[in-house]
Amino acid sequence: MLDYVDLQADLSAEERLIRDTAQEFIADKLESEIGEYWIEGTFPTELIPEMGDLGFYAPNLEGYGLPGVSETAYGLLMAELEACDSGLRSMASVQGALVMYPIHAYGSEAQKDEWLEPLGAGEAVGCFGLTEPQHGSNPSGMETTAERVDDGYVLNGSKTWITNAPIADIALVWARVTGGDEDSDGSIRGFLVETDRAGVTTNEIKEKLSLRASITGEIGLNDVHVPEESVLPGVAGMKGPLSCLTQARYGIAWGTVGAARDCFETARQYALDRDQFGGPIARFQLQQEKLAEMATQITLAQLLAHRLADLKERGELRPQQVSMAKRNNVRVARNQSRIAREILGGNGITADYSPMRHLTNMETVYTYEGTHDIHSLILGQDLTGVAAFE
C-alpha cells in the first residue's frame, strides 16, 4: 500500500497491530460486500458489536474499559475504516469522537459508568445532535431549547443530518437553556437523551446520493422531559460541541487519506492489468503522470495527518491546525478519487470498483463537520486576526 516516504517505519508494534487488525476485519467482513451495502443504502449493523469487540470505538480514550492507544494508532484505524467506506468510519467516528469523548471529558461519574463501556463495546449506539434545519455552519444560532422545570428540563426542537440517529440508543443533544437564572439563561448545554423517551423521534433520511452506506436521520424533540442528571456537568457554551467537532475532524483528516489511498491502489492495479493497444495502459505517459500526482498529493496528506498526531499526543494541537488538515485532506481525497475514476474508464462507474463510491462519499465529507469554505474562514481568521464570520 502507498507509503512513499516509509512512514510505517516509525510505527510502534501496537500501532501496526491496530492497523493490521482493521485491515483484516475489512478483508474478512466487508471488502467484497460494501458496494452492495452502498447500493442498497444500508449499514452493516450486525457488525457494530464486533467492531466494539475489536476496540474500534474511541480507543484513544483511557479508563472505563478503553485502552488509551496512541493518537497515531487511532488515526490509522480511521484511515483503514474509510479505505473501506466513509460510512464505516463515520459510524465509528460519531460513536467515539462525538458521543464517547464528551461523556469522557465532561460527563459525571454516573454518566461515564452508565454509558462508556456499553458504547465502547458496541452494545449501545450513540448519535450527536447539533446541526439543525436552519443552522448548519452557524451552530451558535441553534433554536432547540431546554426549558428548566422543577424536576429537570423539557426539550423542544429538531436536529437533522444526524449519523446513527435511527439506530441510536442515546443522543447527545445540544440545546439552549431557557427559564433559568440570569447567568445560565441562553447557555448551550449538552443533554444525554435516551431515544425511547416520550416525544423523541429519529426518522431516517433516505434516497441520499452520497454516504449511502451510513444510516442518517433527524432527531425530533417534542416536549421531551429529561432529569437534571442528563446534563453534561463539565461544560457550558459552544466550547462543548466545538471541542467534540475538533476530535471528529481529526479522525476525518486521517480517514480521508485512507479513502484516497484506496483509490490510488485501485487505479494503479487497474492500469497494470488493463491492456489497450498491445500492452498495459500503465505504460502511457498520461496515466503515469496521473499516478505520480496522486501519489504525491496523498503522501503530503499522510504527512499532515501524522504531524497532527504528534501535536495531539503532546497536547499542543490547535483546532485551526485540525481545520487545515480536514480542509486539505478531504479535498485531496475528493480530487484524487475523480482522477482514479478517470483511469478506470467506463468500468469506473460500476460498484465493482471503489473510486466512484469514494468520490460520491467525499461530497458529504467535504460538507459535514465544517464545510470546506468554513474551514477556509477559520484559517483566514487565524492567519489575519480578522473574523470573516462577523
Task: Note if 342 is an active site residue.
Answer: no
Residue 153 has pLDDT above 70, yes or no: yes
CA distance 243 to 94: 13
Q: What CATH number belongs to 239-384?
A: 1.20.140.10
Report d(CA 7, CA 38) in Å as an integer.
31
Which cell goes with 250? 481529526
In angstroms, the CA 40 to CA 234 distance is 41
User: What is the arithmetic mean of pLDDT over 196-218?
Assistant: 96
Q: Annotated catalytic residue: which of 31, 228, 369, 390?
A: 369
Backbone angles phi, psi at 224, to 5 degrees: -85, 115
Looking at residue 123, its pLDDT comes to 97
Cα 280 from Cα 271, distance rounded (Å)? 6
Q: Which amino acid is at 348?
A: G
Residues with Cβ < 8 Å from 244, sequence gap 6 or more?
97, 98, 101, 102, 128
Q: Average of pLDDT values for 121-143?
A: 92
The CATH number of domain 7-125, selected from 1.10.357.10, 1.10.540.10, 3.30.470.20, 3.10.310.30: 1.10.540.10
pLDDT on residue 181: 61
- pLDDT band at 138, cuts 50/70/90? confident
Round to whole Å and give the CA distance between 302 and 329.
8
Taking a C-beta distance cutoff of 8 angstroms, is the pair 366, 87 a contact? no
**Per-residue pLDDT, 336:** 97
Global confidence as pTM = 0.95
What are the residue boundaries of the structural domains of the chain, listed by start?
A: 7-125, 127-236, 239-384
> Can you read off the three cell numbers belonging to residue 117?
463501556
- Asked whether residue 244 carries a pLDDT value surpassing 80, the answer given is yes
Per-residue pLDDT tens digits for 256-292? 999 999 999 999 999 999 999 999 999 999 999 999 9
Tens digits of residue pLDDT in 328-371: 999 999 999 999 999 999 999 999 999 999 999 999 999 999 99
d(CA 318, CA 322): 7
Predicted confidence band at 77 (pLDDT cuts at 50, 70, 90)? very high
First and final C-alpha spacing in the chain? 45
pLDDT band for position 192 (cuts 50, 70, 90)? very high
Q: Are 264 and 271 in contact (CB under 8 A)?
A: no
Number of alpha carbons in the 13 Å side-chain half-sphere of residue 300: 14
What pLDDT score was predicted for residue 390? 73
Fold for domain 127-236?
Butyryl-CoA Dehydrogenase, subunit A; domain 2 (2.40.110)
pLDDT at 150 over 60: yes
Q: What does the pLDDT read at residue 182?
A: 52
Instruction: Identify the CA nearest to 223 among candidates 152, 281, 172.
Output: 152
Per-chain mean pLDDT for the chain: 96
Cell of 248: 471528529
Q: At a CB cut-off of 8 Å and minimum separation 6, what does 53 contact?
A: 121, 122
Euclidean distance between CA atoms 49 and 225, whole angstroms:
30
CA neighbours within 13 Å on the CB side: how many for 266?
29
Nearest to 77 by CA among 50, 98, 104, 59: 59
Are the CB atoms for 354 and 306 separated by under 8 Å?
no
Helix (H) or strand (E) holding 148: strand 145-149
pLDDT for 186: 74
The answer, yes or no, to whether residue 197 has pLDDT greater than 80, is yes
> CB of 161 within 8 A of CB of 90?
no
CB-count exposure of residue 60 (10 Å: 0-12, 13-18, 19+) = buried
Percent of the chain with pLDDT over 70: 98
- Write the CB contacts of 66 (distance below 8 Å, at least 6 apart in sequence): 58, 59, 100, 104, 116, 120
For residues 113 and 111, give the distance between their C-alpha atoms in angstroms, rounded to a whole number.
5
At 140 the pLDDT is 82
The cell 517505519 sits on which residue? 9
Q: Above pLDDT 90, what percent of the chain?
A: 94
Q: What are the tens digits of pLDDT across the range 61-70?
A: 999 999 999 9
pLDDT digits (tens, 9 = 90+) for 49-60: 999 999 999 999
